Amino acid sequence: MTDTNPGYIVVEGPIGVGKTSLARRLADSFGSELLLEGAAENPFLERFYRNPREGALSTQLYFLLQRARQIQEMRQADMFRPVRVADFLIEKDQLFARLTLDEQEYKLYEQVYAHLTLDAPVPDLVIYLQAPVDVLVGRIAKRGIHYEQHMDAGYLDRLSQGYARFFHDYDAAPLLIVNAAHVDLVNSDAAYQELLQQIARTKTGRHYFNPMPVSL
């Protein structure tokens, strides 16, 4: 990753934290290819939010196969080395699986995962957005995606804790942990420019960015 070419950036974080919106703006800033996980394309997702036990396995397998396909396409195009920004990290797929599947379902999921032999490119930078559950609930309600309105706050809390555990030990790529609780990184130019400066400085290791609160 250079000062002018950020290479491959992944924006991650729990549902409602703003990762897709930020990924879009970063891709626009860097003139890069944008890779999105395509949650709206998953035909099982609404069923999952209405009845998690009924829809968990089909939802998770769909996402796994979808992401595997995206990674394969990415690797096939790797010879051209385009700048890329994505709103998902393939390794976090297992985080969701552990959270939503029962023991037998998870064993099946693991078998499918193993046979896919996923070999994702390593990001040049991972941006992990954090925000409290009440903030996530408010942002989910504000964006008004109908099937998300069935989401339980307890699920969001367990998901946020799962992300925190995952990134506590993450060292595969440089990691920038961003407190996104009180800022709008997409619509506040001042906060966004601060973030770009932090991105340019994050070359190795683990870093924290706590921008000044901005009215949302």
Question: Tokens 């995606």 belong to which residue?
Answer: 145
Q: How many CA atoms lie within 13 A of 48 on its CB side?
A: 22
Task: Cite the active site residues.
Answer: 87
Burial class (CB in 10 A: 0-12, 13-18, 19+), 41: exposed
